[in-house]
Amino acid sequence: MDKMAKLALVGMGRMGSAIATRLATGDHQVATWDLKPNMANARQISNISRETSAAHAAKGAAGIFLCLPNTQAIETVIFGRDGIGENVSTQTLIIDHSTIHPQAAKEIAARVHDEFGATYMDAPVSGGPEQARAGRLVVWAAGPKSDFDRAAVWMQRYGSRVVYTGPTGSAQKIKACNQLVVCSTIVAWMEVVTLADSLQLDPQNVIKQLKGASSDSMLREFFVTQIFENRENETIRNFRKDIDIVLELSRNDSIYKRIAAISSALNSESDVDE
C-alpha cells in the first residue's frame, strides 16, 4: 500500500477536520466532503481539497475515512446518490471512525463487500479533536487483519494507539465498553453539581478545585470547558446516542437496569444541559 496514496475523508466536523489535517500534513492528498455544505472546519492546508460530492471525494482514493453522526448518515454517504460507492474499487478501504451499533457495522461491511467488492472497517476512536490534532487518539479497528495492516500506517498519523480488535463489529463493542465508563463519569459529574448546589457552593469552582484529585480525569476538564463555559451540547447528544447503544447491547443482561439509569440521567432536563 502506497504510504503517500490519495485519501478521502467524509464528515468534516471538528474530529473529521482534525484527522484530515493530520493526514494532509503527512504529505497525503486528502479530498474532503461534508453532508453540510457550509462545514469548513479544516485548516487551510495545500494538501486538503473540498469536493462537491462524496463520490468526487472518493474518486481515486485508496482509503476513505468517515466521521459521521449515525448509521443513517453512513448509509447515505456510502450507498446514496453521489455517494462514495460510485467510485470505490475492490482495493478501496473504507475506514469508519463513527460510533454506531456493532450489528449495523457488520451489516454495512457485508453490503459494501457484496455491492462493491471493497472493505469496510469499523474503527471508532477515543479522544477529542485536540488529541487528534496532536496525534494522540486511541483507535480501535475491526475487519480483515490484512486490511488493518494496510490501513494502520494512515491511522498512526493521528492515533498514538491503533489497536486491532478482531472481526467486523468488535471495535464497536470495545467502544461501547469505553462509553459506559465515559457516560457513567459524566453522570457522576452532574451529581457533583447537584451536591455542590445543595451545599451552597459554586459548582464550577468545585469541579475546578478537584483538579489533580483521585477523582480527576480528562472528563473533568471536558465538563468544565464544554458544559459550563462553551455549553457545546453536541457532545452530550453524542453521549446519549452512545449510551443508548450500550443499553441495547445489555438488554438481556443483569446490568440493564443500572445502564438504563445512566441513560435516564443523560436524557434528563438538567441545569448543566441545554
Query: Is residue 205 exposed (0-12), middle (13-18) or buried (19+ Cβ within 10 Å)?
Result: exposed
Stated as kind and residue range, the H or E segment containing 126 is: strand 125-126
CATH number listed for the domain at residues 173-267: 1.10.1040
191 pLDDT band, cuts 50/70/90, is confident
pLDDT higher than 80, residue 222: no
SS3 151: helix
Nearest to 29, CA basis, from 55, 61, 76? 61
> Regarding predicted confidence, which is higher, 115 or 222?
115
6 vs 29: CA distance, rounded Å: 5
Position 272 scores a pLDDT of 42
- pLDDT tens, position by position, 254-272: 788 888 888 888 777 444 4
Taking residues 241-254, report their average pLDDT.
83
Position 233 scores a pLDDT of 63
Position 26 scores a pLDDT of 78
Query: Is residue 231 exposed (0-12), middle (13-18) or buried (19+ Cβ within 10 Å)?
Result: exposed
Contact 75, 115 (CB under 8 A): no
> Regarding predicted confidence, which is higher, 52 or 253?
52
Position 27 scores a pLDDT of 79
Query: Where exactly are the structural domains of the chain?
Result: 7-167, 173-267
Contacts of 14 (CB under 8 A, 6+ apart): 41, 128, 129
- pLDDT tens, position by position, 13-59: 999 999 999 999 877 999 999 998 765 555 567 799 999 999 999 99
Assess if CATH 3.40.50.720 describes domain 7-167: yes
- pLDDT tens, position by position, 161-185: 999 999 999 999 999 999 988 888 8
> Regarding predicted confidence, which is higher, 187 or 12?
12
